[in-house]
Amino acid sequence: MSFRIYVVDDLLSDMTTFVLPADRVHESAALCDYVFDRLDSDDTVHAVSTDSESDSPEASRDSDDAQNAIYSRLGAIATVDRHTESAETQTQALSSVAKRTDADEIVVGHATDGVDKRDVDQLLSNAPCPIVIVPDAAA
């Protein structure tokens, strides 16, 4: 009889945890296209939207649609967890979820509308893991 010994860290190293914003459906769909070919069944995707008192009903609907888009595109391949964070900015929400989930990568789009440079600087300063910017994901 033979036994194989596996080091737990070696088994877990194949799993990847991604964090994606889920506030704009078109951006989320484009990010899914980027992540799709990189996913395995052991991976986890965290779809993160923000919940702000100033959000309009349209923004809230778009967040729901974005989370549904991520789940419908990636849920058959990997685990998709949905998060709605109370945060002032999307970057705060992404950093918070990435820290809590020990994420391997934050994947964001290169949005040009309404993005405050301070928010980008905040994400770069506070991210606990690498950030991938997908240029074609501008909403």
What CATH number is given to the structural domain containing 37?
3.40.50.620
Q: With respect to residue 37, please indicate whether it lies within any of the assigned structural domains.
A: yes
Pick the residue with more confidence: 94 or 87? 94
Does the pLDDT value for residue 92 go beyond 60? yes
* Mean pLDDT calculated for residue range 61-76: 91
d(CA 13, CA 4): 18
Q: Which tokens hold the place of 19? A: 């964090």
Scanning 13-56, the segments in alpha helix (DSSP H) are 25-36
d(CA 31, CA 38): 12
Q: With respect to residue 9, please indicate whether it lies within any of the assigned structural domains.
A: no
Does the pLDDT value for residue 114 go beyond 50? no
Residue appearing with tokens 């440079």: 117
Split into its structural domains, the chain has a count of 1
Taking only the tens place, the pLDDT of each residue in 4-60 is: 544 444 444 578 999 999 888 888 888 999 999 999 999 999 999 988 655 677 777
Residue 86 belongs to domain spanning:
15-137
Q: With respect to residue 10, please indicate whether it lies within any of the assigned structural domains.
A: no
d(CA 73, CA 46): 13
Q: Which amino acid would we find at residue 52?
A: S
Half-sphere exposure for 101 (CA within 13 Å, toward CB) = 27
Give the global pTM. 0.81
Q: With respect to residue 32, please indicate whether it lies within any of the assigned structural domains.
A: yes
pLDDT of residue 54: 58
Which is it for strands 105-109 and 79-85: parallel, antiparallel or unpaired? unpaired
pLDDT of residue 123: 82
Q: With respect to residue 7, please indicate whether it lies within any of the assigned structural domains.
A: no
